[in-house]
Amino acid sequence: MSIMSRINEFLAKASRLILGGGREALESQRRKGKLTVRERLDVLLDPGTFLETDLFVEHSASDFGMHSKMLAGDGVVTGIGRVDHRPVAVFAQDFSVAGGSLGRAHASKITKVMDASRDMLIPLIGINDSGGARIQEGVDSLCGYGEIFYRNTLLSGVVPQISVILGPCAGGAVYSPALTDFVFVVDRISNMFITGPQVIKTVLGEEISPEELGGARTHSAITGNAHFFADNEEDSFEQVRNLLSYLPSSSREDPPVTAPKPPKAALTRDVIPEDRRRAYCVRDVIRGIVDSSEFLEVHEHFARNIFTGFARLEGRTVGIVANQPRVLAGVLDVDASDKAARFIRFCDAFRIPLITLVDTPGYLPGVNQEHMGVIRHGAKILYAYSEATVPKLTVIMRKAYGGAYIAMCSRHLGANFVVAWPTAEIAVMGPEGAANIIFRREIEESSDPEATRREKVAEYEEKFANPYVAASKGYVDTILIPEQTREALVRILETARVPDSGRMPRRHGNIPL
Amino acid sequence: MDPESLCIDSAMYETEIPRNSLRPYQGLPDARDLKAFIPGTVVDVRVREGDRVSAGQVLLLLDAMKMHNEVCSAIEGRVAQVLVIKGDRVEKNQILVRLDAAV
């Protein structure tokens, strides 16, 4: 065979494989409002940077007529590409080929790029669009999932792992995304559940649509399984690229540094309302502190009583955790604890300093919270902050009461620097509650209990609802007015260092789960 | 969204209270009512009204999830009412047997 005909043979084979399940299957994918697998990689990666691996891989299954079936690329596209010039390892399941079902060869292609991500210390991005296990391959398909989960776990804290759910992801398949750092979902396209609506109907007689059970909105707002929600696939990939811009390629390096930019509008001293019982949006405070007033919020729609997100201070990535007084008065509860703890641990793993903004009246009271395990879940914040060895800077803006004061990265959990504003109230509880307990007898015995109560509340407020008691003991390092905050944080971060390793040698700690 | 009020330590805070965040307490289940924990079909009823039963005793079998599930008494007592017969299709949480607790 001549060289020319060999090359032509190769080109013909490759172009057939690149079509995946064929023109009709790709058209059907488009009709569902979804991009095809190769269009997705085009949107995600820098143009022309994708180097594909294993295009010619074939399955070796023979049962149930599989021996005569050729599945292009075995239903997954894998390789290395670049995002903003930085290399990433990617796999993208191709629904047009046997419904993106996962067989042995499909899984081996995925574990190969996972190993590449480990060896090259570059982020891993998985695009999930699969009907699930390839039933014809039986237990081999389960082996494939297990080997992926194993690698997800070993890669955790080594390289950032990102999952984009762009189609069904059901049954055991959900656990690979669940083991990764960030899950991206798209409205009306993503679906994740362990058992689908059909099974639930048969077994339990309960009827629910796939969207309600495990659609993008459900996982963003109710379960917290998804961290980023988008209206369409293009926006979702833009979110992925934006997230990567804040992150190092692995935990061996520092996050990328960009040109410093001041906030668009500086903080003013009236950023928080005078009345401690009035709400405000903590995002306005964050905008007044960070570069360009820009941040990338993580878990925007889940546990909205706490804010978590990435931003930059003088060009350096920081992770921000902030109570959100606008929702549930900024209390800590089960979901907020889970959300914050996971974010703190991610930042600690990837050398991202933590900034904590505090304004919380305490924990959410209620039988429901107690029975949902607020003890077990609340412990995660304490654990995550105490464990973290990245620089930890805390700004106490207003209320910091009781156990929630301790939990929000107090000096006592190892904060490197604690700033309080003059409006800070660092106390064992709010004046109303404290006065009712301490002065119970005086109030009860008073001829005008209401007047006495008001008087005693004012007395307590005067004496304890301020930053000076804590500052007098060194629990607060400095008291600043809001407009000085950014400058102070920048200066402290300039000198702060991330230690090479964590704490005492041990196999690993045992975070309450 | 209109501001709502949330009371913490005697102080009222104006804030948004998301749906689902303050679900009412449902109470602990009453051990005297044996309920179907899953929809299914009753395939065997092993007690009659008036029978004395001990804690852990199998009172009936419920076919669901491809299994014959044992429905057991959590307490010692006497059967007050048997509300199903063999072959009945039952809904989730339907009461199957009522007991009087032993005194």
pLDDT > 80? residue B3: no
pLDDT > 60? residue B1: no
Read off the pLDDT band of A339 (50, 70, 90): very high
Asked if B94 has any chain A CB less than 8 Å from its own CB, the reply is: no
Read off the pLDDT band of A275 (50, 70, 90): confident
pLDDT at B24: 64
Region A341-346: mean pLDDT is 98
**B10–A331: do the CB atoms touch at under 8 Å?**
no
pLDDT at B66: 82
Scanning A216-275 for CB atoms below 8 A from B yields 222
Give B52→chain A minimum CA distance, Å.
Answer: 31
Q: Which CATH number fits the domain that encloses residue B53?
A: 2.40.50.100
* Residue A501 CB partners (closer than 8 Å, separation 6+): none
Domains A19-246 and A258-429+466-513 in one fold: yes
pLDDT tens by residue, A277-324: 899 999 999 999 999 999 999 999 999 999 999 999 999 999 999 999
CATH no. for A19-246: 3.90.226.10
Average pLDDT, chain A: 95
Whether B14 maps to a domain, the answer reads no
CA-nearest residue of chain B to A433? B9
Give A251→chain B minimum CA distance, Å.
Answer: 36
pLDDT tens by residue, A140-167: 999 999 999 999 999 999 999 999 999 9
- The CA-based diameter of chain B, rounded to the nearest angstrom, is 57
pLDDT at A41: 98
Region A363-374: mean pLDDT is 90
Please, which residues bridge with residue A395 across strands? A357, A419
Asked if A492 has any chain B CB less than 8 Å from its own CB, the reply is: no
**B8–A329: do the CB atoms touch at under 8 Å?**
yes
| CA atoms within a 13 Å half-sphere pointing along the CA-CB vector of A91 | 30
Chain B residues whose beta carbon lies within 8 Å of the beta carbon of residue A434: 9
Chain A residues whose beta carbon lies within 8 Å of the beta carbon of residue B10: 430, 432-433, 436
Asked if A460 has any chain B CB less than 8 Å from its own CB, the reply is: no
In chain A, what percentage of residues exceed pLDDT 90? Answer: 87
pLDDT at B103: 59
Task: Clarify whether A171 is annotated catalytic.
Answer: yes
Chain B residues whose beta carbon lies within 8 Å of the beta carbon of residue A325: 13, 15
**Between A and B, how many CB-CB pairs are < 8 A?**
78
Split into its structural domains, chain B has a count of: 1
Domain range enclosing B40: 29-101
Asked if A432 has any chain B CB less than 8 Å from its own CB, the reply is: yes
* Residue A32 CB partners (closer than 8 Å, separation 6+): A189
pLDDT tens by residue, A8-48: 999 999 999 999 999 999 999 999 999 999 999 999 999 99
Among A454, A433, A428, smallest CA distance to A443 is for A454
pLDDT at A67: 80
Give the least confident one: A294-308, A402-416, B2-16.
B2-16
Among A213, A188, A300, A290, smallest CA distance to A246 is for A290
The answer to whether the CB of A390 falls within 8 A of the CB of A347 is yes
pLDDT at A386: 97
The domain limits of chain A are 19-246, 258-429+466-513, 431-464
How many residues comprise chain A? Answer: 513
Among A478, A425, A481, A489, smallest CA distance to A269 is for A481
**A366–B22: do the CB atoms touch at under 8 Å?**
yes
Long-range CB pairs of A171-174, under 8 A, 24+ apart, other chains included: A171/A132, A171/A133, A171/A195, A172/A132, A172/A133, A172/A142, A172/A145, A173/A102, A173/A128, A173/A130, A173/A132, A173/A133, A173/A145, A174/A225
Whether B49 maps to a domain, the answer reads yes
CA-nearest residue of chain A to B27? A367
Among A148, A137, A131, smallest CA distance to A58 is for A137
pLDDT > 90? residue B26: no
Chain A residues whose beta carbon lies within 8 Å of the beta carbon of residue B20: 222
pLDDT at B4: 82
Read off the pLDDT band of B21 (50, 70, 90): low
Region B45-57: mean pLDDT is 94
**B13–A431: do the CB atoms touch at under 8 Å?**
no
pLDDT at A97: 95
The interface predicted TM-score (ipTM) is 0.72
Order across the sheet with A51-53: list the strands.
Answer: A51-53, A76-83, A86-93, A124-128, A161-165, A182-186, A228-230
Give B2→chain A minimum CA distance, Å.
Answer: 11
Scanning B15-74 for CB atoms below 8 A from A yields 15-18, 20-25, 38-39, 64-65
pLDDT > 80? residue A53: yes
**B15–A327: do the CB atoms touch at under 8 Å?**
yes
Chain A residues whose beta carbon lies within 8 Å of the beta carbon of residue B91: 205
Q: How far apart are CA B64 and CA B70, in angstroms?
A: 10
pLDDT at A121: 98
Region A206-233: mean pLDDT is 95
Region A255-284: mean pLDDT is 92
Q: How far apart are CA A167 and CA A188, in angstroms?
A: 9
Q: Encoding tokens for residue A374? A: 């607020």
The answer to whether the CB of A433 falls within 8 A of the CB of B9 is yes
pLDDT at B6: 87
- Provide the CATH topology of domain A258-429+466-513: 2-enoyl-CoA Hydratase; Chain A, domain 1 (3.90.226)
Which residue type, as a one-letter code, is found at position A32?
Answer: K
Task: Clarify whether A403 is annotated catalytic.
Answer: yes
pLDDT at A206: 83
| CA atoms within a 13 Å half-sphere pointing along the CA-CB vector of B65 | 11
Higher pLDDT, A433 or A352: A352
Whether B7 maps to a domain, the answer reads no
Choosing from A138, A224, A403, A433, which is the catalytic residue?
A: A403
pLDDT > 90? residue A366: no
Tell me which DSSP letter residue A133 carries: B
pLDDT at A284: 96
Best mutation target among A276, A364, A368 (most B Cβ atoms within 10 Å) is A368
pLDDT at B45: 95
Whether B60 maps to a domain, the answer reads yes
